[in-house]
Chain A
Amino acid sequence: MSRREHKPGTDFVEPDLPITPMLDMSFQLLAFFILTFNPAPTEGQIALALPQDKGGPSNQIPSVVEADKPMHFIIRVSAADNGTIEKLTVQEADTVTPARDIPASVAEFRDEVKRLAAQVAQAKKPAGGKLTLEIGDKLLQEYVVQLVDQGIRAGFNDISPVPLNKK
């Protein structure tokens, strides 16, 4: 059995940990991550009201009271062959008001849905407003999202995209 003891008067030797190689490696890692740093763009969701399916469960209980029905507007969006907006037509559903054309641009659409949202607010309907977008087959998703986006920003919570001439 051996027993080690510090001899009196012997200096204590502190272990020397080499920091420099570790620092070199850390700098290399840092350089790698800085060079490959590419922050992901922020993605978000836009909620949709899907078209009704016969026999399927309904999102909303149908209202029997006329006053509880939301103000329902239909905007028809015709698409050009290149997928852009060709024509915009606005009509209030369940009324005899004739459909009217508005200039075919997202900016005009925005102004129009703002006017419609103001109309809904003025009517003070508890159910609010409903917007149906009847969309042409060729319209690109880019424009579909822009139209839904403008509708939500104007204050419509119930926006349902359906194909043009089909309900």
Chain B
Amino acid sequence: MSHGGSDKCEPNLVPLLDLVLQLVMFFMLCANFVLEQTSVAIVLPKAIAAKALTQAESYTIFLNVDEKGRVLLAAADQYKDSEGRVTESLDNAAQVLTFLRRRAQEDRNAVGAAANADAPLRSVIILRVHKLCPFEKTYPIMFACRQAGYTRVQLRALFDGSTD
């Protein structure tokens, strides 16, 4: 039995390429990018009742608290002190309060001078506290939030899918 003619038989690779590029795109979009404001050093506790952020909570301030109770500042929040040294973490509640008061003032300025001074601040504070941090370190930070005028404070936790 002989094949007639000299036509080459080539597989059509274009649909395969389309599929592969779609898969590449999927994995690129799902890649675990490091979020700017969160710290991977913080191991969060688990909670079942944890809810996702809503659309109304578009202004957020993340406070990443490590197991020693220090607040690790995101790159955008780091600032230089009077001696020109870059402050990367806030080591006590007084520093946290100073930082939050500055952010609160920025919040008020952003809303405008016409806004009511007693109105709640627009930002929600999200505390990402390491699961091994003792309460004596966490509570002064919560209290500093309240003193700075923030009334909406949320604890961040990993969503635990188990029922109990």
Q: Is the CB of B135 within 8 A of A161?
A: yes
A36 to B30, CA, bound (A): 11
Contact of A20 among B13, B31, B32 (CB under 8 A): B13
Q: Is the CB of A163 within 8 A of B135?
A: yes
Q: Is the CB of B135 within 8 A of A138?
A: yes
Q: Is the CB of A37 within 8 A of B20?
A: no
Contact of A57 among B32, B44, B120 (CB under 8 A): B120
Contacts of A137 in B (CB 8 A): 134-136
A123-152 Cβ-contact flags toward B at 8 Å (1 or 0) = 000000000000111111110111011001
A53 interface contact, C-beta 8 A: yes
Q: Is the CB of B32 within 8 A of A39?
A: yes
Closest CB of chain A to B48's CB: distance in Å? 6
A153 to B164, CA, bound (A): 11
A38-61 Cβ-contact flags toward B at 8 Å (1 or 0) = 111111111110111100110100
Give the dominant DSSP class at A's interface: mixed
A160 to B127, CA, bound (A): 15
Q: Is the CB of A50 within 8 A of B142?
A: yes
A13 interface contact, C-beta 8 A: no
- Number of B residues contacting the other chain (C-beta, 8 Å)? 51
Q: Is the CB of B50 within 8 A of A45?
A: yes
Of B78-86, B105-113, B150-158, the one touching chain A: B150-158
Q: Which residue of A lies closest to B23 (CB)?
A: A30
Q: Which residue of A lies closest to B144 (CB)?
A: A53
Given contacts A145-B157, A162-B139, contact A45 B134 (CB under 8 A): no
Given contacts A26-B17, A26-B21, A163-B135, contact A44 B32 (CB under 8 A): no
List residues 79-134 of chain B with CB under 8 A from any CB of chain A. Answer: 118, 120, 126, 129-134
Contact of B154 among A45, A142, A149 (CB under 8 A): A45
Q: Is the CB of B24 within 8 A of A56?
A: no
Q: Is the CB of B47 within 8 A of A149?
A: yes
Contact of A46 among B14, B28, B134, B157 (CB under 8 A): B157
A22 to B145, CA, bound (A): 54
A23 interface contact, C-beta 8 A: yes
User: Mind listing 13 A-B residue pairs with CB under 8 Å?
Assistant: A19-B13, A22-B17, A26-B24, A27-B20, A30-B20, A30-B24, A37-B31, A39-B32, A44-B156, A45-B155, A48-B142, A136-B135, A148-B47
Q: Known contacts A44-B159, A50-B145, A148-B49; can you find 18 more A-B pairs with CB under 8 A? A: A43-B50, A43-B156, A43-B159, A44-B156, A47-B153, A48-B142, A48-B155, A50-B143, A51-B143, A53-B143, A138-B135, A140-B135, A141-B129, A141-B138, A142-B45, A149-B50, A153-B48, A161-B135
